Amino acid sequence: MIDGLNPALILVCGSLLALLAPQGRSRNLFMLALPVLGALQLWSLPYGEHARVEAFGLTLTTLRLDGLSFAFALVFHIAALLAVIYAWGLRDPVQQVAGLLYPGAAVGAVLAGDLVTLFLCWELAAVSSVFLIWARRTRRAYRAGLRYLLAQVASGLLLLAGVIIRFRATGSIAFGGLGLDSPGGGLIFVAFGIKAAFPLLHNWLQDAYPEATVTGAVVLSAFTTKMAVYALARGFAGTESLVAIGTLMAMFPIFYAVIENDLRRVLAYSMNNQLGFMVVGVGIGTPLALDGAVAHAFADILFKALLFMSMGAVLLRAGTVNGSELGGLYKSMPLTAGLCMVGAASISAFPLFSAFATKSLILEAAAREGHWIPFLFLLFASAGVFHHAGIKIPYFAFFAHDSGIRCEEAPRHMLVAMGLAAALCVGIGVFPGALYAILPYPVAFDPYTATHVITQLQLLAWSALAFALLVRTGVYPPELRSVNLDFDWFYRKPLLAAAAGAWGAALRAWEGFNRLLEGSVERLIAALALHHGQRGIMAATWPTTRMVLWAVLLLGACLIFYYL
């Protein structure tokens, strides 16, 4: 391959050149080749810094490859390839360009060796990804896309402000350990937290992803949040507060996901849950914990893409992904149902499936470092994810009851993409050493010990029993058409009302000021008219004798002042 060529350029430039290819098979083949070529280029590069650019008086390192960036860049190429296959029959140039430009920007971000290059890729990813939401061409999608873009641009502005402050304080734009001991580092931390969907900053994810197109949601699920996990691992590894933040992230989405009716929104909450595990790993900061965060991000991209693919196929064929309107689809879509169950087993960390081999690294690191309270909460979160993603999604979509919907199986290209993702999920679970080999640090850990396997099976068995009892007794929340209130209610309702009230008060104050000013001007004009109007004293014609008298008096006054 080409020495020093950034793999991100293959995806970014290729996505634009794809428009020149004829619509149909030729364009699809060209787009399919791009992530393959990018992955081969990535694999051929040795570790180190390969590209420096002088710009704006700064030295930008646009390509830095090490164990951390390699793992993320590799899985981003795999996700881009799966997305191209999944969208094989697509005839929408907007989605086709955005579907590769966005992954290219994400690859560029994880390969960036400086904060300025990171910022440029950060913003390119934000702008290109929003078109995957707007491409659905509905009013809901348009409004959700605007809110999504607002959150992403806010993250970029905070990142830029933090970079400027840090550069003025240190003279460096290197992207390494940043810390929270400076204002610049704090702003960058919040910028990363927005994209990582920290608690209270997370609602853009559940708001926007379910409104994206069938293929757009698959692409969105892979890049933005994992790019943020990479950035946190690069800049804030070992930051103690991330352990508490990640634990909260892993916990609270469980309760929302259980009562949510839209199954793609359930998956969006599940993303928060899984991101929490990764953030805890970054916060612990030991080599084992960081390996766990990277490995789980790698696995999560694959099994979450598989679950979004299966729900996308259901949306395409059945016209809805509301649990209250689905059920019995295994009769019409048996292959999709089976592949969805592979994704469900993977996210639930069943032995021989991917999350079992990756999540255990984080839990082991937490136990070794004595983080027992987060460890217990993460165990509870593991049981919860089996409820809302491992059981709820396949159960209510395919098995709960017969909704009467009869439709075709998913298109062949979608099944191929889902099949490849499922094979990778199983492959990581069966052969975890292959994934461990590309992690940033050497891994001396065997997930398949008797203690770990038995403990995990017990956790899953009790969780399944609890779900069955809750459903049989009618305690489990039924699938209903409803709107569940999250933290975004505060800025959509009270904050919006407060802003409207403040704006109204400001308008009324401005109108009052204008009235006061107009009254003052009118009084001034009236006073001037009294003396200078047609009948005013200053407008009268004075006799010559009076004018001579005034001239003599003024001259006398001048003489007196002069001699005194």
Q: In the prediction, which pLDDT does 2 show?
A: 73
Range 431-451 average pLDDT: 92
Higher-confidence residue: 259 or 63? 63
What type of residue is 111? Answer: L
Q: For the beta carbon of residue 441, count every other beta carbon within 10 angstroms.
A: 15
pLDDT band at 106 (very low <50, low <70, confident <90, very high): very high
334-358 pLDDT, tens digit per residue, is 999 999 999 999 999 999 999 999 9
Asked if residues 250 and 378 have their Cβ atoms less than 8 Å apart, the reply is yes
C-alpha 74/C-alpha 76 separation (Å) is: 5
C-alpha 145/C-alpha 123 separation (Å) is: 15
SS3 label, residue 24: coil
Collect contacts of 483-488 with beta carbons under 8 A, ≥24 apart. Answer: 484/256, 484/259, 484/260, 486/203, 486/206, 486/256, 487/200, 487/202, 487/203, 488/203, 488/207
Q: Is the pLDDT of residue 44 over 80?
A: yes
Q: Is the pLDDT of residue 537 over 70?
A: no
Q: In the prediction, which pLDDT does 477 show?
A: 65
C-alpha 380/C-alpha 373 separation (Å) is: 11
SS3 label, residue 467: helix
pLDDT band at 248 (very low <50, low <70, confident <90, very high): very high
Q: In the prediction, which pLDDT does 358 show?
A: 94
Q: Is the pLDDT of residue 362 over 80?
A: yes
Highest mean pLDDT among 88-92, 192-196, 324-328, 523-527: 192-196
Among residues 315, 132, 346, which one has the least CA distance to residue 220? 132
Range 162-179 average pLDDT: 90
Higher-confidence residue: 233 or 323? 233
Asked if residues 258 and 301 have their Cβ atoms less than 8 Å apart, the reply is no
C-alpha 432/C-alpha 417 separation (Å) is: 22
Q: Is the pLDDT of residue 280 over 80?
A: yes
Among residues 223, 299, 219, 214, which one has the least CA distance to residue 264? 214
Q: What are phi and psi of 55, to 5 degrees?
A: -155, 135
> Residue 50 is inside which H or E element, if any?
strand 48-55
Asked if residues 390 and 354 have their Cβ atoms less than 8 Å apart, the reply is no
Q: In the prediction, which pLDDT does 532 show?
A: 66
Average per-residue pLDDT for the chain: 88
C-alpha 288/C-alpha 439 separation (Å) is: 10
Among residues 426, 428, 413, 431, which one has the least CA distance to residue 82? 413
Please report, to the nearest 10 degrees, the dihedral formed by the alpha carbons of residues 218, 222, 223, 226 taken in order: 150
**What is the DSSP secondary structure assignment for residue 46, as one 8-state letter?**
P
pLDDT band at 439 (very low <50, low <70, confident <90, very high): very high
Q: For the beta carbon of residue 164, count every other beta carbon within 10 angstroms.
A: 16
Q: What are phi and psi of 60, to 5 degrees?
A: -95, 130
CA angle centred on 221, ends 341 and 202, rounded to 5°: 115
Longest C-alpha distance within the chain, in Å? 124
SS3 label, residue 58: strand
C-alpha 222/C-alpha 207 separation (Å) is: 16
Q: Residue 377, exposed/middle/buried by CB under 10 A (0-12, 13-18, 19+)?
A: buried
Residue whose structure tokens are 């490995």: 295
Q: Where are the alpha helices (DSSP H) in 112-213?
A: 115-129, 131-134, 139-170, 183-195, 203-208
291-306 pLDDT, tens digit per residue, is 999 999 999 999 999 9
75-79, 422-426, 560-564: segment of lowest average pLDDT: 560-564
C-alpha 180/C-alpha 162 separation (Å) is: 11
Half-sphere exposure of 322 (CA within 13 A, CB side): 11
Range 97-125 average pLDDT: 94
Predicted TM-score (pTM) of the model is: 0.87
C-alpha 50/C-alpha 193 separation (Å) is: 29
Range 172-189 average pLDDT: 89
Domain ranges of the chain: 237-477, 495-563
- Which string of b and e fits 378-402 if b means at least 16 CB within 10 Å? beebbbbbbbbbbbbbbbbbbbbee
**Token pair for 171:** 């003279």
Higher-confidence residue: 498 or 86? 86
| C-alpha separations of 177 from 113, 237, 294, 369 in Å | 12, 7, 17, 21
Higher-confidence residue: 423 or 500? 423
> Residue 253 is inside which H or E element, if any?
helix 241-259
Q: Is the pLDDT of residue 1 over 70?
A: no
